[in-house]
Amino acid sequence: MTQAGWISGWRKPSVLPGFGPALGTTLAYLSLFVIIPLGAMVLTTFAHGWADFVGAVLQPRVLAAFRVTLLCAFGAAALCALFGLLLAWVLVRYPFPGHRLVDAAVDLPFALPTAVAGIALTSLYAPNGWIGALLAPLGIQVAFTPLGILVALTFVGLPFVVRTVQPVLQDLEREQEEASAILGATRLQTFTRVIMPALAPALLTGFAMALARGLGEYGSVIFIAGNKPMVSEIVPLLIVIELEQFNYAGAAAIGTLMLAVAFVLLFAINRLQRWTRLQHAD
Amino acid sequence: MTAEISIRGVTRRFGAQAALDGVDLDVRPGELLALLGPSGSGKTTLLRIIAGLEWPDSGTVMFGGQDAMERHVRERGVGFVFQHYALFRHMTVFENVAFGLRVRPRAQRLPRAEIARRVHTLLNLVQLDWLADRYPNQLSGGQRQRVALARALAIEPRVLLLDEPFGALDAKVRKELRRWLRSLHENVKVTSVFVTHDQEEALELADRVVVMANGRIEQVGTPAEVYCTPASAFVHEFLGDTNRLECRVEGGRALLADGTPIGRAEDIMGSAIAYVRPHDVTLAPAADGPGIIRHVHAVGPLAQLVVELGGVEIDVAIPADSWARLGAGRGDRVAVTVQAGTLFPQRATRGIPMQPLLPASPILSLVRNNTVYSGRPIHHPE
Amino acid sequence: MRIDVNQPRPAPAAAASAMSRRVVRVTESAPVRWALTAAALGFTFLFLLLPLASVVVQAFAAGLDTYLSALADPDTLSAIRLTVIVALIAVALNVVFGVAAAWCIARFTFRGRNLLVTLIDVPFSVSPVIAGMVQVLLFGLRGWLGPLLQQHDLRVVFALPGIVLATVFVTLPFVARELIPLMEEQGAEEEEAAISLGASGWQTFLRVTLPNLRWGLLYGVLLCNARAMGEFGAVSVVSGHIRGATNTMPLQVEILFNDYQIEAAFAVASLLALLALVTLGAKLLLEWRHASELAATRRR
């Protein structure tokens, strides 16, 4: 049977049993929970043709939400890249007391439910909160403005950058830096010409992952955003609002567009990860 | 002649363990010096201290009479070839070699065209100009090695340091590169120090060899000196195959445990260790001789034998034609003559030469010295 | 070419020499190291630990009695019960799926394998709100199957099935993504040996494969459970927010917070934060005790 399988062209023979049932279970499960539901969304979107899709997406409120979401997600991913690189660098390179605590704390945004992160950040950055009260005299308001969205998205995106950069930095040969110093490079030259090019693929991967997460994030944002239409309303919230008004086609249209953006990012991340592996293969 | 590099009392500890323990060493201008020792002997640490990649706990390193420790690694002007080359993998071969020229402060930086010319000259020197646009992961091990060398030479170093330069290569490429490096050194004449654990490599390549063990220098000398007159038991054991025989010295003769004499030695008494190289033993036909041939491996130019003598087994290597003329086989008895050896009395650090029971002819010892120098012992036919 | 070894070199900068005696390896100068470490510590404290601290402080701001009575509220208790039920179902389903997917992906080479791996990752890159919305589009009152369900008086959306479906969607990759790299790293040799010794497929799986996977599986279950219990966006869309019936703990937090019952909201949140801490602790313990077995999953 296995021989015939490979000759028919799609499976390499193996002595291990159970391929059929395992693949069947996997495909059925994926279809039931992911493919059919997402397909239903795309079908709903285009049930009445392109015109409805374009009409639903080109509304000013939708466009404004996409603008806010994209800007904040990009800004947050950039902040994640900056602080993520700092954290990964310090964690890998410098010994200091509390090292393990900091390393564990990096995973906190992964583990903490988004609603909890949302209300905690909101109460911290509200004008009467611990941090908000310090910023208020400076005329800076974070909570209930797009700045709040930026803070929340940076919080949830940070571990992606740290956890992709950290292992690459760990595996970076110290000898490359020593070679650079011996050849006369200053530490800054070594950093920009030797270390950064080696870290770039991982850093970009982390950036793209934080961006993807930021675009879809809901729980941590809605508490702190203030949700003012046209100003601080994010795309996922708009979907919820459309659904509450039983505008299924409108919600599905927005969702389909988000899905397309997510797929583009997924593709980019896959490419970046392949690049990372190539850079570090010998 | 002042030393190019002068090292005095260098000590380096890692925790409680001393990686280097009061090392003194002079490197002469233009020479090719080998640091030879087993792993953990401190040779790589010493090389990294010369480069400025490690710092000694005490002691000094002088370059041409100036204190090198005042200088940061990037100002020392050393070329360093790393064991695994440490090529920058995101740069082409050309960019790798040009790196040291491009990172100079603006005031000292050469014009672009001059940098390109220099890089191509160097790539021609290492016969890799045709690979200038490749990336390191597209090169073979030997090619990477030569790129690393060109990169190190690009900054016109006053000394070139190489850490196990052939360690990561397979045996065939290693031999070729060794010859090539020797001729390159004769062309370029830059003072060079390389680390190796391979005694054959050190003896073939270096002008002088520094044998190290446990963070100390055991002996410094030409390959012939360290091979023929090892200063310590360690050097004798580390350089080349050897038999280690426990014996006692009585009345000017060295005797094995059961009283079988193996050589003459003046001025000492009591128990000692005799080191005898397999090719320093000769055999002669004798039906009542003290040796019994226990094992024969006679393929190639040398016959490798195990001979039982006075209750111990001794490795013996004799030329294939001598073996043929001997006409003996496994289990046969033979007469055994130890032509040369070194005796180390207990608790002595210096060895005492052991003479044959019958004086060796002067011609024989001259031939032996010559063959040793080439690193390929060939035995004088009896 | 000849390199002149005696060529004079530029004198070392005087300023660098005083410092360099202390330099042991090629690295940044001490002030730079201290500044970067301080910045990283400050950032960790302000940005990562302070939110956690604020949850605890605000939960207990009105005293222990208020805290306990907030948790004893019937709606909160029902939310806790619902959360546990949903998580149990979702984790169990995803374990079955994860093992099946890992078996065919890590043990067989077939056309479309890479596509399958990518499909498993899809839920990670889709907004949780979409995960909830697709259930509404399928099973909602005006959804594709809505009328059919209504005829048979079945409820999916605004009821337990919808919440489970949405939760399964967002947590689907967790177990599979831990097991696939682990099984790939371990290789098929042990299973092939078992088969060659006469074991049946099931015997091989139960006696060879599963024991080798146990720590990776536990790791995946841990992460899957944390996400299932904490999921907000997806569940929020399908739950309908019916107090005491379809509210999970995160939704209960939202409702209390929006009702200005701040202490009660943080009291429930503190339970979820505790869950996060326990998960992190167990994860660290697993990574520490079974580092070699989990190396593959953490390296991906």
How many residues make up chain C in this entry? 300
pLDDT at C13: 36
Q: Which one is predicted more confidently, B254 or A1?
A: B254
Measure in Å the smallest separation between the Cα of C120 and chain A Cα atoms.
Answer: 7
Cα-based angle C33, C38, C43 (whole degrees, multiple of 5): 130
Highest average pLDDT, of B78-87, B252-261, C2-11, comes from: B78-87
pLDDT at C218: 92
- Judge: B75–C13 Cβ closer than 8 Å, yes or no: yes
Integer Cα distance of C37 and C35 in angstroms: 6
**CB-CB neighbors (< 8 A) of A193 in chain B:** 99, 103
User: Tens digits of per-residue pLDDT, B168-187?
Assistant: 788 888 888 888 888 889 88
- Judge: B156–C16 Cβ closer than 8 Å, yes or no: no
Percent over 90 (pLDDT), chain C: 51
Cα-based angle C7, C10, C16 (whole degrees, multiple of 5): 145
Question: Token pair for residue A26?
Answer: 């996997």
Integer Cα distance of B305 and C180 in angstroms: 56
DSSP C13: P
User: Tens digits of per-residue pLDDT, B119-172?
Assistant: 999 999 888 999 999 999 899 988 999 999 999 999 999 899 999 988 878 888
- Judge: C133–A116 Cβ closer than 8 Å, yes or no: no
Measure in Å the smallest separation between the Cα of C4 and chain B Cα atoms.
Answer: 7
User: Tens digits of per-residue pLDDT, A177-218?
Assistant: 999 999 989 889 999 999 999 899 899 999 999 999 999 999
SS3 B35: strand
pLDDT at C19: 32
Q: What is the mean predicted confidence (pLDDT) over B345-367?
A: 61
- Judge: A116–C279 Cβ closer than 8 Å, yes or no: no
SS3 C238: helix
SS3 B92: coil
- CA distances to A75, A131, A146, B214 from A138, rounded to whole Å, are 22, 12, 17, 64
pLDDT at B355: 80
B72 contacts chain C (CB < 8 A): yes
Integer Cα distance of A169 and A164 in angstroms: 9
pLDDT at B358: 66
Integer Cα distance of B241 and B210 in angstroms: 19
pLDDT at C298: 53
Write down all domains in chain A, each with its CATH number in brackets: 15-47 (no CATH), 59-281 (1.10.3720.10)
Beta bridge partners of B335: B284
Integer Cα distance of B22 and B9 in angstroms: 4
Measure in Å the smallest separation between the Cα of A185 and chain B Cα atoms.
Answer: 5
Say whether pLDDT at B381 is over 70: no
| Facing A116 at nearest CB: one of C37, C49, C55 | C55
**CB-CB neighbors (< 8 A) of C40 in chain A:** 86-87, 89-91, 102
Say whether pLDDT at B36 is over 70: yes
pLDDT at B372: 33
Cα-based angle B165, B168, B169 (whole degrees, multiple of 5): 90
Say whether pLDDT at C130 is over 50: yes
**pTM of the shown model:** 0.82
B175 contacts chain C (CB < 8 A): no
Residue in C58, C297, C6, C90 with CA at minimum distance from that of residue C177: C297
pLDDT at A1: 44
- Please report the ipTM that was assigned to this predicted complex: 0.88
**Which subunits sit against C, judged by 3+ Cβ pairs under 8 A?**
A, B
- Judge: C26–B73 Cβ closer than 8 Å, yes or no: yes
B89 contacts chain A (CB < 8 A): yes
- Residue B140's identity, in one-letter code, is S
- Residue C61's identity, in one-letter code, is A
pLDDT at B361: 40
In which band, very low, low, confident or very high, does the pLDDT at C18 lie, cut at 50, 70 and 90?
very low
- Judge: C104–A29 Cβ closer than 8 Å, yes or no: no
User: Tens digits of per-residue pLDDT, C175-198?
Assistant: 999 999 999 888 888 888 888 888
User: Tens digits of per-residue pLDDT, C111-122?
Assistant: 889 889 989 988
B215 contacts chain C (CB < 8 A): no
| Dihedral of alpha carbons B47, B49, B50, B53, sign | positive
* Residue C217 Cα to chain centre, angstroms: 13
DSSP characters over B213-232: ETTEEEEEE-HHHHHHS-SS
User: Tens digits of per-residue pLDDT, A131-185?
Assistant: 999 998 998 898 899 999 999 999 999 999 999 999 999 988 888 999 999 998 9
Integer Cα distance of B281 and B35 in angstroms: 30
* Residue C239: Cβ within 10 Å count: 23
Measure in Å the smallest separation between the Cα of C60 and chain A Cα atoms.
Answer: 14
- Residue C208's identity, in one-letter code, is V
Percent over 70 (pLDDT), chain C: 89
pLDDT at C254: 93
Q: Which one is predicted more confidently, C117 or C296?
A: C117
Which of A54-58, B209-213, C296-300 has the least mean pLDDT? C296-300
Q: What is the mean predicted confidence (pLDDT) over B264-276?
A: 84
Say whether pLDDT at B64 is over 90: no
Closest chain A residue to C119, measured at CA: A30
How many residues make up chain B in this entry? 382
* Contact of C214 with C222, CB cutoff 8 Å: no
- 């008086």: which residue's tokens? C153
Integer Cα distance of B36 and B210 in angstroms: 6
Mean pLDDT for chain B overall: 85
User: Tens digits of per-residue pLDDT, B75-107?
Assistant: 888 999 998 889 998 899 999 999 999 998 888
pLDDT at A4: 47
Question: Token pair for residue B355?
Answer: 């003479």
| Facing B137 at nearest CB: one of A173, A189, A281 | A281
pLDDT at B379: 39
Helices and strands in chain A: count of H runs, count of E runs: 16, 0
**Which subunits sit against A, judged by 3+ Cβ pairs under 8 A?**
B, C
User: Tens digits of per-residue pLDDT, B277-305?
Assistant: 898 898 888 888 888 999 999 888 889 99
pLDDT at A35: 93
| Facing C273 at nearest CB: one of A27, A34, A112 | A112
Full strand arrangement of the beta sheet holding B5-14: B17-27, B5-14, B58-63, B66-67
In which band, very low, low, confident or very high, does the pLDDT at B1 lie, cut at 50, 70 and 90?
low
Which helix (H) or strand (E) segment is C81 a member of? helix C74-107
- Judge: B71–C20 Cβ closer than 8 Å, yes or no: yes
* Residue C54: Cβ within 10 Å count: 21
- Judge: C2–B71 Cβ closer than 8 Å, yes or no: no
| Facing A108 at nearest CB: one of C39, C48, C269 | C48
Integer Cα distance of B192 and B30 in angstroms: 7
Tell me phi and psi for residue A127, to 5 degrees: -55, -25
Judging by DSSP bridges, how do beta strands B78-81 and B291-297 pair with one another?
Answer: unpaired
- Judge: A178–B79 Cβ closer than 8 Å, yes or no: no
How many residues make up chain A in this entry? 282
User: Tens digits of per-residue pLDDT, A223-280?
Assistant: 999 888 888 899 999 999 999 888 888 899 999 999 999 888 888 888 888 887 776 6
